Structure 1
């Protein structure tokens, strides 16, 4: 049984990610934890409130807003996607988003987080969304980030971008393998060579380890040369029409390289490809 975390801020994009998750795991027995976190309002009007009673009143209003919002989401889930394989728990928590997710991941032994890349905030999101990016390297479980308006249409092909610079293990690749197995997906591994034209001996060894680990899957291997990382990833995603792109992130270093604003616009907005983000610490 999987434990899946579904963060929501009650936005359209958060609901879209919830729909994606419910369809992605429709054949599996899952516990879904729908979480809404809230903190004290970050506004000049609130900061000017000095009365303890007034602050308590604001807090109580936030609590009721959060709980009612979760009740509404749960009712919508059950009416739109009835599934005897799925159970649900709503969690309203008074913490900043990152701290709330970290706590819930530990408390409920979460296996995977599925969330949207942009929420209801009026602040312009960068990269994969500030909330998503803030979790990279912080939680050990995989994150599936769903771009706005992306609908689940099956996962026929999964791309995985690699520099062949980590020790691949079955444990680290397990989330990718499970998705590929349950969806009978083709795995397309691609390596981008910007300036260097040949793999080092160590890279060759790690490439061979990866091939052995994926030997029971349908897998293709590609090398892109004379092309930058951002352009290369964009070109590969679009030419293959990928259904999911897997990246292995070292906290935020890899994401800083490819998931910048340019990448976000070209990949997340145009291609609408979801991201499976794996934590390198699990390898």
Structure 2
């Protein structure tokens, strides 16, 4: 059974991410948790509020949030009735990052689904601060869904990797499960000017080959040094509809996430982006 956590701020962006997540895993037995953390909504009104007023306000907002979450539950059950899915909602008095991390650990969540924005004109992925913080600090895969993207039925999945890090079985299983559900081709893209793999790279690649038995898998090596340009071109050329990368120490993705232009990734795509985690965090 797959456990999926979907934090929501009740925006159209979050609504779209929720619907896409429910649709993507319609063939699997899932527990889907829809969560809203509302501490910021309480404190932004008056951070110096006296305790008894604060408690009263907290109770009112909690009731309002619970009602909204119930409405989302009912809407999902109405538009996507699925006996394989158990949907529940959680209202938490706390900050979104803290509550997401704690709940993901508590329930051993397999995947977090959140929304992203795409800038009009240049079509670059722009993570909202909440999505970005979750990707950086929660030890769980995150599926970032562009606000304009609807109905994910992947036929071509791209996993950009250098084969240097060992792959986690649980996260590979997630990708393979999606590929199997939609009979999708799984592309492993290695961007390098060197044709030869090291012993470690060969070992990791061999593990992938054995783990993905029965799936349509394609391994490609593309020469070059500009990962961003190469990935963009590959996405367009191969009609990729789901991009996968791993967030690891000193990786291409980590370098982007921790740069000064932290909210902008140069990947000019409008497809869902699955970020796997290979980081040990405190």
TM-score, scaled to structure 2: 0.84
1:274 paired with 2:272, answer yes
1:14 alignment partner in structure 2: 14
Aligned to 1:163: 162
1:207 maps to what in 2? 205
Q: 1:170 to 1:110 in 2, by over 3 A?
A: closer
**Aligned mates of 2:135, 2:23 — CA distance in 1:** 24
In structure 2, distance between residues paired with 1:280 and 1:62: 37
CA deviation string 1:15-74 (max 9, x = no partner): 101111111111222221111111144877623x44333333432332123112212212
Q: Confirm or deny that 1:30 pairs with 2:30.
A: yes
CA spacing shift, 1:88–1:163, aligned 2, 3 Å: same
Alignment pair present for 1:104 and 2:103: yes
Partner of 1:135: 134
Report the Cα distance in structure 2 between the residues aligned to 1:63 and 1:126, rounded to whole angstroms: 33
Q: Which residue of 2 aligns with 1:236?
A: 234
**Contact 2:20 2:151 survives alignment (8 Å):** yes
C-alpha contact (below 8 Å) 2:42/2:61 kept by paired residues = no
Identify which range, 62-71 or 94-103, moves more after superposition. 62-71
Report the equivalent of 2:66: 67
User: Any idea what SS the aligned residue of 2:112 has?
Assistant: strand
Structure in which a larger fraction of residues adopt helix: 1
| TM-score normalised by the chain length of structure 1 | 0.83
CA contact (8 A) 1:248 1:279 kept: yes
Secondary structure of 2:265's counterpart equals: helix
Structure 2: segments with no counterpart, 5+ residues: 119-123
Question: Distance in 1 between the 2:170 and 2:12 partners?
Answer: 34
Partner secondary structure for residue 109 of structure 1: coil
In structure 2, the partner of 1:249 is: 247
5+ long unaligned stretches in structure 1: 120-124
> For the aligned residues, what is the CA RMSD?
2.9
Partner of 2:121: none
Map of 1:182 onto structure 2: 181
Distance 1:77 1:230, change over 3 A: same
What is the total number of aligned residue pairs between the two structures?
Answer: 271
